[in-house]
Amino acid sequence: MSTNGPLRRTVTVANPMGLHMRPATAFAQLARAYRSTVTVWNGPARADGKSSLDLILLVALPGASLVLEVEGDDAAAAIDPLAALLGAPGDGL
Amino acid sequence: MDIKRGTPVCPGVAIGPALVLDTEGVRIPRLSLPPDQLDAEVARFGAALGAAAAESRERQRSLAARVGQEIGDILFSQASLLADDRVLRKDVEQFIRGERFNAEYALSRAIRGYVKRLEERGGGEHAARLRGDLYDLEKQILGFLLGENRQPLQAVTQPTVVLAHDLTPSETAQLPQQVHAFATESGGPTSHTAILAAAFGIPAVVGLGRFLSDVSGGDLVIVDGHKGLLILNPDDQTVAEYEAIRAADRTRTDPYLAIKDAPPVTRDGVRVSLLGNIEFPTEAPHCLDRGADGVGLYRTEFLYLNKTEDPTEEEHFRAYQEVLTALGPDRPVVIRTLDLGADKFAAATGQLILDGEKNPFLGLRSIRLCLQNQALFKTQLRAILRASAHGDVRIMFPMISTVMELRHCRNILREVQEDLEEEGIPFKPDLPIGTMIEVPSAALLADVLAKQVDFFSIGTNDLVQYTLAADRNNEHVAGLYNPVDPAVLRLIRGVVDAAGREDVTVNVCGEMSGEPVYIPLLVGMGLRQLSATPRKIPEIKRVIRSLTVPDAERVAREALRMETAREVASYLREQLRRFLPEAAD
């Protein structure tokens, strides 16, 4: 056991098109690689981080402040790569 | 029960099951399953999801193979990758097990739920794109679920209420046999939906705003074309109220049936010929049912809209032939050549406009487009000429704005006639040729144009817009649009006078000719032929039969003396009440 509770990060959406299909799908795919539960909040709206559909429905626009929460035995290993992907500026398309 | 408000564009009441049109006309069946079938249904859905996801991955792979991984990733729409999504799977399974819905309907409900959540969160363009992606995803998975059971819409025989975002040509090409009413999210009084509803003679409401995510195929809905309401899942009391209104409507339209065979003749024996405006060949019999003497305006745009290629000569000819067969060899059919802007075209012709036009209404559209694309024009002309061998066909050119244009058209027509002669294909050599008068320059030069045509048709819709320089679909200036603006009336009078001097027939084919309140004025100005939407013909006939020509001329003289549209409109309403107390509003 490496953590006692959930790990959290605040991430700003840097992709100029917001959290749309491509970044959401990429994020969900990475999240599924970990055993921990992954949750993303956009204000009061909550999404299962392993579901691209749920993430898209957050309608996270550029500049939105999201809260990433990871809980589980591989949370420490997961939190950094997931936060980096969530806040990535994308490839401009 | 949910009541949505929109703009009524065709009166009447319809109560029936909804049929939700998506752009491919996929019909989503709604079933209630017995409990022992639920496991199988969930499995069937899972299989369809898997198949959809696999298909997407394959598409992505082959695209990447063609254009490289990076660009492939960029171009590929990832919507279909959602097919594997666990939330989607869970939500649909819940609908199947919890509500005992079949997989197609469960999917549809789930997707509509997501769309609703998107709408609630706002997000503008971003959300709009996502909405499109979600509907695409639905369509893809439905394809796998329905498989060979995919039913084309025309196979639907139960009377239905058609609901759509908009009734674009691609959607209307798929309409089922029995449509009771239309209701659309977008659109205004002059939209395509309005024209279609009038053609079918069924109630319609447009401009309702978003509601498709609140309804699914099979739901009971009511369309109130009088008040402009769409009622989703009405309660029993509401259904009963509307059934009563519907019954009352039916008895009210009966008097018009009695007038069907009566001649359109004034009390002092002057005939005002009534013709019908049509857009589809299937409306031709409707014209006859309503007592029209023929077709005064056959709008041929439908042959071109939303196809991947421009229509062939055969397609044109078959459509014209259908109308002639319905009307017989002795009733006139006036065929108007293509009257569209290039933006509505098949890719082939659309290339003429490389950048969007800034002023499409003043741009390369209609006859101008035809004169710059003679191959396109000649295809239609050939078909019209060939049709002329089978009935009383007359040809009309839209949007003529100069004498040179008209001459150019006639020259091209002559060339086509020579071609057909050489090929030994029969046509009527003295086919009557006419022009629309809708551009003010044509109205002002009517005396010159009259020497070069056999007839005029005054297109009041566009004539009013061009004369007053106001777009009737722009709510900021729509108030300026008024068919009885004194400026427009003077132009009409000028056209009728010029036509009279050269013995050229004139008719009015715009909306004006379908409104009882304008009839005394038009008859009084000298018009002896009107072409209107078939549904309105019986009412117009009643007005004509209540007038004498001296009465009508008096009305016209008075109206032409007035200085504002408002005065004229008010005067005409009052005069109509005198002729026909029950027809005036």
Q: Is residue A44 part of a domain?
A: yes
Check CB contact under 8 Å for B81 and A25. yes
In terms of Cα–Cα distance, which of B543, B536, B539 is closest to B579?
B543
- Mean pLDDT, chain B, rounded, equals 85
Q: Tell me, yes or no, if B136 comes closer than 8 A to chain A by beta carbon.
A: no
A41 CB-contact burial (10 Å; exposed 0-12 / middle 13-18 / buried 19+): middle
Annotation marks residue B509 as catalytic: yes
Given the residues A8, A20, A22, A46, the one annotated as active site: A20
Check CB contact under 8 Å for B81 and A52. yes
Check CB contact under 8 Å for A53 and B114. yes
Q: What residue ranges in B438-504 does DSSP mark as E strands?
A: 455-458
In terms of Cα–Cα distance, which of B522, B471, B475, B525 is closest to B498?
B525
Q: Is residue A93 part of a domain?
A: no
Check CB contact under 8 Å for A59 and B88. no
Give every CB contact of residue B139 below 8 A, 6+ residues apart in sequence: B22, B24, B26
Range of the domain at A55: 7-86
Q: Is residue A28 part of a domain?
A: yes
Q: Is residue A46 part of a domain?
A: yes
Of the CA atoms within 13 Å of residue B123, those in its CB half-sphere come to 27
User: Is A1 a residue whose pLDDT tops 70?
Assistant: no
Is this structure's pTM higher than 0.80?
no
Residues of chain A in contact with residue B126, where contact means CB-CB under 8 angstroms, are 17-18, 20, 59, 61
For residue B330, what is the DSSP state?
A: T
What is the CA angle B438-B442-B445, rounded to 5? 150
Asked if ipTM goes beyond 0.85, one says no
Any idea which residue has 């509509």 for tokens? B112
Number of domains in chain A: 1
Q: Tell me, yes or no, if B117 comes closer than 8 A to chain A by beta carbon.
A: yes
User: Is B287 a residue whose pLDDT tops 50?
Assistant: yes
- Mean pLDDT, chain A, rounded, equals 87
CB B233, CB B252: distance < 8 Å? no
Q: Could you read off the pLDDT of B261-274 as tens digits, one per residue?
A: 789 999 999 999 99
Q: Tell me, yes or no, if B87 comes closer than 8 A to chain A by beta carbon.
A: yes
Confidence of residue A91 (pLDDT cuts 50, 70, 90): low
pLDDT of residue B347: 45
Check CB contact under 8 Å for A61 and B126. yes
CB B395, CB B431: distance < 8 Å? yes
Residues of chain A in contact with residue B123, where contact means CB-CB under 8 angstroms, are 18, 59, 61
Task: Determine the straight-line distance between the first and last CA of chain A, rounded to whole angstroms.
Answer: 40
From the centroid of its chain, how far is CA B20? Answer: 18
What CATH code is carried by the domain that includes residue A60?
A: 3.30.1340.10
Nearest-angstrom CA–CA distance, B376 and B379: 5
Any idea which residue has 């564009």 for tokens? B9
Which residues sit opposite B13 in a β-bridge? B224
From the centroid of its chain, how far is CA A52? Answer: 10
Nearest-angstrom CA–CA distance, B12 and B228: 10
How is domain B259-579 classified at the architecture level of CATH? Alpha-Beta Barrel (3.20)
* Of A51, A57, A93, Cβ closest to residue B117: A57
Backbone torsions φ then ψ of B57, nearest 5 degrees: -65, -40
Q: Tell me, yes or no, if B424 comes closer than 8 A to chain A by beta carbon.
A: no
CB B48, CB B240: distance < 8 Å? no
In terms of Cα–Cα distance, which of A57, A17, A60 is closest to B115?
A57
CB B336, CB B509: distance < 8 Å? no
Specify the amino acid at residue A76.
A
Confidence of residue A92 (pLDDT cuts 50, 70, 90): very low
pLDDT of residue B530: 97
B291-300 burial code (b ≥16 CB/10 A, e <16): bbbbbbbbbb
Mean pLDDT, range B158-177, rounded to an integer: 68
pLDDT of residue B585: 46
Q: Could you read off the pLDDT of B393-406 as tens digits, one per residue?
A: 999 999 999 999 99
Give every CB contact of residue B451 below 8 A, 6+ residues apart in sequence: B502
Fold of B2-26+153-253: Glucose Oxidase; domain 1 (3.50.30)
Q: Could you read off the pLDDT of B30-65 as tens digits, one per residue?
A: 778 888 889 999 999 988 888 877 777 776 676 666
Task: Give residue limits of the domains in chain B.
Answer: 2-26+153-253, 35-148, 259-579
Mean pLDDT, range B247-266, rounded to an integer: 76
Pairing of strands B332-336, B392-397: parallel
- How far away is chain A from the Cα of B79, in angstroms, using its nearest Cα? 7
CATH, domain range B35-148: 1.10.274.10
In terms of Cα–Cα distance, which of B449, B452, B451 is closest to B440?
B449
Q: Is residue A92 part of a domain?
A: no
Tokens of B456: 């005029």
User: Is B172 a residue whose pLDDT tops 60?
Assistant: no
* Of A51, A54, A56, Cβ closest to residue B130: A56
Q: Is residue A16 part of a domain?
A: yes
Q: Is residue A21 part of a domain?
A: yes
Nearest-angstrom CA–CA distance, A54 and A57: 5
Chains A, B: CB pairs < 8 Å: 56
Residue of B nearest to A19 (CA): B126
pLDDT of residue B516: 94
Q: Is residue A70 part of a domain?
A: yes
In terms of Cα–Cα distance, which of A15, A66, A14, A16 is closest to A40?
A66
Nearest-angstrom CA–CA distance, A64 and A15: 10
Check CB contact under 8 Å for A51 and B87. yes
